[in-house]
Amino acid sequence: MTLLVKSSYSHRFLSSSTPAMSVCSSFCPQLPSYFRQKPINSLPTKPLFPLSFKVFSSQATGVSAKDELPGRIGFLGMGIMGTPMAQNLLKAGCDVTVWNRTKSKCDPLISLGAKYQPSPDEVAASCDVTFAMLADPESAMDVACGKHGAASGMGPGKGYVDVSTVDGDTSKLINGHIKATGASFLEAPVSGSKKPAEDGQLIFLAAGDKSLYNTVAPLLDIMGKSRFYLGDVGNGAAMKLVVNMIMGSMMATFSEGLLHSEKVGLDPNVLVEVVSQGAISAPMYSLKGPSMIESLYPTAFPLKHQQKDLRLALGLAESVSQSTPIAAAANELYKVAKSHGLSDEDFSAVIEALKAKK
């Protein structure tokens, strides 16, 4: 395995990767028009930014230090995830052009040096690779393929990377529209919420054009801690939906446990501590548990998006005749929480749907 270095404003810890997976990395210097991956022995003696080390695991090989990256990067969607992702690209010295339906959401990025275009097609036309992080399948389709959509600005030599969470059918439709222009398409939905996005600790689940994957791999490494190439378009979407189906079901069960412990006279804070030290430990429990006990739900991953992902995962399961009764029950609980006006709260607010009416 080879350890390579990436420049970044933030210090990150060294993570381990599975031996079966190849290791990829990049060094992104502060250059306005292009980037080039460099092995550790070619780093300048006085780097522009503090250096931190990160190992990237991937099922794909073939990312060469000789590969040149596009110098102009577009980013569509400045929401809870898109904004920190684009910020990390800017902090790494990348040339970034942004767009959002509400322009004011682009202002913080513009103040950091980003360029702005008033429509997705103009972003795509002015950039070599365009990323999109949208809220749902409908938005992803509209921004990519609708009037003034990114596809209208695409062409040979360009790439479109959709990092939104959508169903496989939507991803394949977008792929068709993009490829019809002569451009390349990659789906790369992310596992991780607001804090991992801010810290550059996302996990990318990529599928589609392998050459585009290799080209943008160093950009994914700036925004994330690991990346997986999963083959044909649709596989990335499927993996993300399965992951979020598991997560949503886990949170629903955890909510039941917190309330159950309190009802039988136990301290739910102690429950969180016990769980965090056992075989079922998960960072989500220790991170969300204390605030859930206080009925506080600061939004990192909106509840409405968790319910959307459960709905899409259940549809995927039905398409292959896979029984998912636990996820189906969890989905109903999130729907109840939405009916209580909790759509924009963190998905941990699902616990409110379980609280008995007083």
Q: Which residues does the annotation mark as catalytic?
A: 240
- Per the prediction, the chain carries an average pLDDT of 85
CA distance 96 to 108: 13
Residue that wins the pLDDT comparison between 31 and 149: 149
pLDDT of 55 above 50: no
Q: Does residue 24 surpass a pLDDT of 60?
A: no
Per residue in 311-330, pLDDT tens? 999 999 999 999 999 999 99
The torsion angles phi and psi of 59, rounded to 5 degrees, stand at -85, 0
Residue 307 has pLDDT above 60, yes or no: yes
Q: Mean of the pLDDT values across residues 279-290?
A: 96
Q: What is the mean pLDDT of residues 331-335?
A: 98
Q: What is the pLDDT of residue 71?
A: 85
Output the pLDDT for position 356.
64
**pLDDT exceeds cutoff 70 at 150:** yes
Report the percentage of the chain scoring pLDDT > 70: 80
Closest CA to 65 of 7, 26, 97, 18: 26
CA atoms within 13 A on the CB side of 156: 0
pLDDT at 44 over 60: no
Q: Is the pLDDT of residue 52 over 70?
A: no
| Whether the Cβ atoms of residue 205 and residue 239 lie closer than 8 Å to each other | yes
pLDDT tens readout for residues 71-120: 899 999 999 999 999 999 999 999 999 999 999 999 999 999 999 999 99
Is residue 63's pLDDT more than 50? Answer: no
Q: State yes or no: pLDDT of 128 exceeds 70.
A: yes
